[in-house]
Amino acid sequence: MTDQQATAFPVTGEMARVLAARLAEHRYRVRFPPGRDPAAFKVTGLPGGPDVEVTAEDDGWTACHYTGRTRAEAARVIARLPVPGHPQVQVIFSRTLIATWEGIEVEWHYLPPRGCPADPGQITDALLAHLAVLDGRHDGKDARR
């Protein structure tokens, strides 16, 4: 192992551990699958048991990947996604890009402001808002319930 790898390895997954702890404080169940990337964790216990995986890099870039069990289930989630430009929604989702494909998957990316340090509070707020969409507590009309 090179000196660079030895230095980089201990901080890998730091943001993921911070976010997982914050989600647990909000009563979400999280787990880090053994043998997987330490920057990735699963969110479990959502209605319908969808597959939800969060990847959080130490620089603040964060992604959440949702896979529904059926197209109908995923369509209900996709229909609840916030509409860009809505003033209340824009506050929480302003640095978030959302993509859908294949009818049953939703992936979003949180991108921290360029040149600014990662802010776990802002990332947590964006992640909680998206998880609220996934578990049906957010209808896309207001910021968060």
* Every domain of the chain and the residues it spans: 3-134
Summarised one tens digit per residue, pLDDT across range 4-50 is 444 444 446 899 999 999 999 999 999 999 988 999 999 998 877 78
Q: Quick one: what percent of the chain has pLDDT higher than 90?
A: 21
Q: What pTM did the predictor assign? A: 0.74
C-alpha 68/C-alpha 89 separation (Å) is 23
- pLDDT, position 140: 42
Q: Which of 141, 144, 124 is nearest to 54 (CA)?
A: 124
Q: How far is CA 112 from CA 75, 84, 95, 125, 144, in A?
A: 28, 18, 7, 13, 20
**DSSP annotation of 112:** P
Summarised one tens digit per residue, pLDDT across range 63-83 is 999 888 888 888 877 777 765
Helix (H) or strand (E) holding 106: strand 105-110
Band of pLDDT at residue 100, cut at 50, 70 and 90: low
Give the right CATH number for 3-134 from 3.90.1150, 3.40.1340, 3.30.70, 1.20.140: 3.90.1150
**What are residue 91's phi and psi, to 5 degrees?**
-60, -45
- pLDDT, position 144: 33
Largest CA distance in the chain: 51
